[in-house]
Structures are given as structure tokens and as C-alpha cells.
Structure 1
Amino acid sequence: MKSCSMLLEAKRMQERKNNQALLFIKDWAIVLAVILLIIIFTVTIPNFMQTNNVLNILRSISIVTIIAVGLTVSLSVNGFDLSIGSTATLANSVVVSMFVWFSMPTGVSILVAILAVLCVALFNAFLIVKVKIPDLFATLATMFIVEGVAMTYTGGGSISAGMPRLDGTPTEGRISDFFLLLSKTPWIILIMLVIVMLVHVFLTYTKHGRFLYAVGGNEEAAKLSGIPVNRYKMIAYIFSAVLAGIGGLLLASQIGSAQINAGAGYLMPAVAAAFIGQSFAGHGKPNAIGTLFGAALVGILENGLVMLSVPYYSLNIIKGLVLAFALASTYYSRKK
């Protein structure tokens, strides 16, 4: 009998150890995946970990991360902002037009672009909070509206220094050197890291961040607790739009012009980064640090595959599989 009880106890201890190991892997899967990719690419690509390439990866994920962190805040209230790509395009178009068409100084140009994206945030909040349209459908409508507004504003074309205005009037404005400097290394990387840390502190260590999570966790319970749910939903969409706008500003700084649907390509990578990052450190909820790691995972994977000469048209297949695997592991563990 004594030997049987000892065997049972040993079995229980082994099961606990196995469960702890599985829990550790689940909680830190993103970090482990990033480390694994770095090891694989370092072994197969001799110059993968050179300083220039590491900085190139960080620079390449900066805009995606900033936009994705904004999406993360909207996810914290159990929302979803599909208009972030169009909002980035709008900011891109407005800020360049202020420089080129109206010869405005840097501060005024940036301010006007931020005011434009704030209008998008307020429109989203109106549809969701007042009209009671579900977040997904409301922001889908906003995505098309803002995309159309941006294209109408630019006349369906690009804006760059030296190009005439829509009516043929010549332009003399130039994008300022200071604005162009924002997208250079290391400034764009520092901007990304500062934004990630500020949003992380806001969501994790302030009462407003806890209220956002409370609204996302159970809206009715949040109302009964006295939390102004509508106000915090509005705050979430303001964060989402402003950070998408900052992403659009940095994109304008990077390419030095306004392009048609310039921000559209950032929607899905931002969604991938935000959702992949939810499982970071066992949070199981949207968080800024996890979003950064999610963007890094996709960025490292894409950079390594390009250096291995994988055809560009195959990259989306691999990135899609990584996203599917990350989401499957997150949601499967939630149901268990």
C-alpha cells in the first residue's frame, strides 16, 4: 500500500512538472519563437546578426508596431479598429499637402494631420457609442469613407515636392529636413520604443488602463461598477486613431511623399502583431509589450526569408501560417 501511494504521489508530481513546463511554453511562446528564429537565421545566414541588419529589422517594424499598439488599445475594450490603415493614409496625405501645397512649418503640418485623425476617432466613437453599430462594422464603414476622403483630397494621385496642385497651380513647398529626419535610424526606433513603453505603463499601471480592460472583460459589470463605459470606448478609439496617424506621419517622413492608400498595407501586419502578442507572458489580453514582440516575430521572419532568397510572393503564405498557429495556440488554450 505504501509503495502504491508513493507511486501515485510521484505520478502527481510528474504531472505537475509537465503542466508547469507546458504553461511556461504557452506563456512565453512568442519570446521563444523569436529566439528560435534568431538562432536559425544566425546559423543559416552569416551576417544576419550584424548591427546594420538588426537596426534594419527594428526600423522596418517601427511603423507597424506603432499602428498595432493603437489597435491594441482598441482591442482592450473588446473592440476592433479596421480603419487604422486608412487613418494612416489620411495623415500621410494631409501632412505632405501641408508642406508641399501650403508651405506650412513642421509643427503646423503635424498638428493639422493629428486633428484630421482625431476627426476619424470621433466619427468611429459616434458610430459605436451613439448609434450602437458593432465595432467591426462601424470601423469597416469608416475605413472606406476615410480612404475615399484621402483619395478625393489628393485627387486620386500622389503628392510630392515640385508636383503641381490639382488645378495645375505650381507648388514651391518642401518637406522640412527635421520631418524627414524622424524616419531615420535611430529616431524612428526610439519613437517606437517610447510609444510602446508609454502605452504599456498606461494600460498596466494606471486606473484608466484597468478601466479599459474592465470594459473589455465585461461591459455590464463595468457599468455596474460605475465605470463610464462610453467614455472609455471613446478614449480607446482616440488612442487607435492618433497612433495610426503617427504611423502615417512617419510613413510620410520615410517615403518623402503622399501615396495612394499608403497605409493600407499596414492593416493586416498590425492585426497580426496585436493578436500574436496577446499571449505574451501569460497575459491572455491585448498588451503593448506583446504587440512589440508580435511585430518583431513577423519582421524577423520576413527579413530572414528575404535574405534566404525566398520568393516575395510566398512570404504571405508563411506569415499567414505563423499567425494561424499563434491564434490557434492562444484560443485553444483559453477553451481548455
Structure 2
Amino acid sequence: MTTIDDDVLAVAPTETPTAGRHNTAGTLLRSGAVFLLLALMLIGFTIAEPAFMNIANLMSILQAVSVVAILGAGVTVTLAVGGFDLSIGAVAASSVMAASYAMIVWHLDAAATVPLVLAFGAAVGLINAFLIVRLKVPDLLATLAMMFLLSGLQLIPTAGRSISAGLILPDGSKATGAYDPAFLLIGRYSLFGTLPVSVVVMIVVAILLHVLTERTRIGRLLFATGGNEVATRLAGASTARLRTLAYVISAVLASIGGIVIAARVGRGDVSSGGSLLMDSVAAALIGFAVLNLRRPNVLGTVVGAVFVGVLLNGLTMLNAPYYTQDFVKGAVLVGALALTYGLGRNSDR
């Protein structure tokens, strides 16, 4: 019969019922902290400004964060494979310009413009993947180079001018095209008079990517690639194809975001997409704290985008200075990450 040494029993850690309850309470707190803070914000802003809880204002918040959530979902996929896409903001901005140029200058309709812009996004994703996967350029450097490339490229066809009806082209001719009304519906129409189409697009993207990343073999392989690429390759999976897929998805989602922006504003604004990169990255990182998953997850990214949107909308309605918004977003990101990693590490001891 095997015996256990008394000295081993003396030093073996034991967990009391009280300690177990504390660990369980801490886990529940971290898992639901973001939702708890979101509920507290909704209650607080409603008390301070009753109009905040108006259905029109809530839909306005969702519409405002829809593009950030869509781009953030793309960032999430690249994070899953252990990468990072710095070019998403530039891809979205270039997609705005491409859609506008296609309709204003080339006289294309919505049916031709949307596939063209999506194909543009896919091409950018393939180039990023080629640089990263085949040429072994570090992902941050490759996507940073693409960001600068696209930021400059989008200005060349119009000599740095925004695109709208009556645009004077660099050769002196005048663009005579106009936005297709069907295209504008993407950014301006609301289903049943209350639910914006852009919010529907965000929901569809979130559901599809959630199913892909959390419920399919491809999704498990994406996370496996980010966790241990060598082991995933030895298991028979093509990590090159998986990483390529991630960057193509990211760029295509950025193009979808650009289409939504173009349809909303009705012009190709050269300044569009200025803050999209940082906002989408913030949403993806806040998503790490949702349900205490501590990893990239699409639904967490959407919750993170909504969290920041609610916060900024509430501050705006309370007439908080606009120049405090970046500070607030930074504070929220720091708090979310501290909650996820700091408290989690303490409770694991």
C-alpha cells in the first residue's frame, strides 16, 4: 500500500471553503466586470440625462460604433494567429475613396462598386499576407508599410482633394457622376424605421466571425497557430494558409467598414478613417476582459466597441469637453487590461 509522507502533508497546500468562495467570487467579478460597468454607465447617464435612454439615441450609439466593431473584428482575427494588422484604418479610408471614385468618376452603380471595393480589400490582405508569410517580414513592419502606402495612394488620383459631385480632376476635367441612391441606403437607411442597416451589418459580421472562430475547426486552428505555430504545423495544418486567411479577412472587413462610411457621409473624405485604427484596436483589447477570456474574441470586441461608444456618447450629452475623449478611451483601456490581467494574476496566487 502506498503511504504519504507526513512532511508532504504538512506542506501541501489546502484550500478552505472560504478561499474557494473568494476565488469563485473573484472569477465571477472579472467575468462580468465589463457588463457591470456598462450597466452602471447606462444607469448613471440616464439619471444625469434622461434623454440618453431614448431608443433613437441608443440606435445612434450602435450606428456610431458599427464601423469600429467591424474593423475591430478584423483585428481580432489577426491577433488570433499571433499577428497584428496596422493597416486596417488605411484600408477603410482607401475604400471610402475607392467607392467614391468608382461612382463619381467612373459612373458605376452600387452593384458594381461594392464588389470592386471588397476585391480591393482582399487584394490588400493578400499583399500583407505575402509580405508576412512568404517574405517573413514582421507583421507590424509589413502592415505599417502598407498603411503608409495606402495613405499616400488614396490621394494621388484626386491630387489630395476629397471626392464629391463636380470634382475637378488633376487633368482639369470635371467628374459628372453621383452617388447611387441604392449605395447610400447602406449607411442611411433604417429597417422598421429604427434599426440602421450599418448595425445589421455589424451584427451579421459578429455572428459569422464568432461562429467561424469559436465553433469551427478553422477557428480552432487559427488560435492554435497563434498559440504555437510549430506544433500546429506539425499537426498537419497549413499555418501559411491560416495566416493568409486572417489577413484577408481583416482587410475585407476594413473595406466593409469603408463602404459603410462612404454610404453614410456621401463623399470621399480624405480625412476619413483618421481614428479608426486606434479605436478598433482599443475595442479588440477591451474584448480580452469580456467574460475574463484573456484572449482575442469577436463578441468581446463588439462589446468593447459598444462600451466605448456608450461612454463617449454619455460624456457628449453631458457636455464634457471633446478634447477629453482620447484620455477617457485610454483610461478605459488601461482599466480593462488591469482588471483582466492584474486582478486575475493576484487571484491565481
**Could you say whether these structures have the same fold, taking a TM-score greater than 0.5 normalized by the shorter chain as the test?**
yes
Contact persistence 2:80–2:223 (CA under 8 A): yes
Contact persistence 1:182–1:253 (CA under 8 A): yes
Which one of 154, 157, 166 corresponds to residue 153 of structure 1? 157
Query: Where do 1:254-293 residues align within 5 Å?
Result: 254-293=264-303
Query: Where do 1:41-120 residues align within 5 Å?
Result: 41-120=45-124
Correspondence for 2:239? 229
Contact persistence 1:93–1:154 (CA under 8 A): no
Which one of 34, 39, 44 corresponds to residue 40 of structure 1? 44
Contact persistence 1:65–1:295 (CA under 8 A): yes
Which one of 197, 200, 203 corresponds to residue 207 of structure 2? 197
SS at 1:59's partner residue? helix
User: Does 1:206 pair with 2:216?
Assistant: yes
Aligned residues: 327
Q: Post-superposition shift, 1:55? A: 0.7
Distance (whole Å) between structure 2 residues aligned to residue 332 and residue 241 of structure 1: 33
Q: Post-superposition shift, 1:17? A: 1.1
User: Does 1:165 pair with 2:206?
Assistant: no
Query: Where do 1:301-316 residues align within 5 Å?
Result: 301-316=311-326
Counterpart residue identity of residue 86, structure 1:
A
Correspondence for 1:137? 141
Contact persistence 1:86–1:261 (CA under 8 A): no
Distance (whole Å) between structure 1 residues aligned to residue 158 and residue 84 of structure 2: 28
Query: Any stretches of 5+ residues in structure 1 without a counterpart?
Result: 1-10
Which one of 181, 184, 189 corresponds to residue 180 of structure 1? 184
Q: Post-superposition shift, 1:261? A: 3.8
Counterpart residue identity of residue 45, structure 2:
F
Contact persistence 1:81–1:135 (CA under 8 A): yes
Contact persistence 2:122–2:249 (CA under 8 A): no
Counterpart residue identity of residue 43, structure 2:
I
Counterpart residue identity of residue 231, structure 1:
R
Contact persistence 1:161–1:174 (CA under 8 A): yes
Correspondence for 2:22? 18
Distance (whole Å) between structure 2 residues aligned to residue 87 and residue 128 of structure 1: 17
Distance (whole Å) between structure 1 residues aligned to residue 170 and residue 212 of structure 2: 43
**Alpha-carbon displacement from aligned partner over 1:26-62 (angstroms, at most 9, x marks no partner):** 1222211211111111111111101111111111111
Distance (whole Å) between structure 2 residues aligned to residue 200 and residue 333 of structure 1: 27
Distance (whole Å) between structure 2 residues aligned to residue 129 and residue 99 of structure 1: 35
Distance (whole Å) between structure 1 residues aligned to residue 315 and residue 247 of structure 2: 35
**Alpha-carbon displacement from aligned partner over 1:49-86 (angstroms, at most 9, x marks no partner):** 01111111111111111111111111110111000000
Q: Post-superposition shift, 1:164? A: 2.4
Query: Any stretches of 5+ residues in structure 2 without a counterpart?
Result: 1-14, 191-195
**Alpha-carbon displacement from aligned partner over 1:213-261 (angstroms, at most 9, x marks no partner):** 1101111111111110010000000010000000001110111011114
Distance (whole Å) between structure 2 residues aligned to residue 20 and residue 157 of structure 1: 58
**Alpha-carbon displacement from aligned partner over 1:130-172 (angstroms, at most 9, x marks no partner):** 1111111211111111111112233211001122222221222
Contact persistence 2:78–2:84 (CA under 8 A): yes
Q: Post-superposition shift, 1:303? A: 0.2
Contact persistence 1:147–1:261 (CA under 8 A): no
SS at 1:28's partner residue? helix
SS at 1:151's partner residue? coil
Q: Post-superposition shift, 1:334? A: 6.0
Q: Taking every aligned residue pair, what percent have the same amino acid on both sides? A: 39
Distance (whole Å) between structure 1 residues aligned to residue 252 and residue 103 of structure 2: 20
TM, length-normalised to structure 1: 0.94
When residues 310 and 30 of structure 1 are mapped into structure 2, their CA distance, relative to the original with a 3 A threshold, is same
When residues 133 and 331 of structure 1 are mapped into structure 2, their CA distance, relative to the original with a 3 A threshold, is farther
Distance (whole Å) between structure 1 residues aligned to residue 128 and residue 341 of structure 2: 28
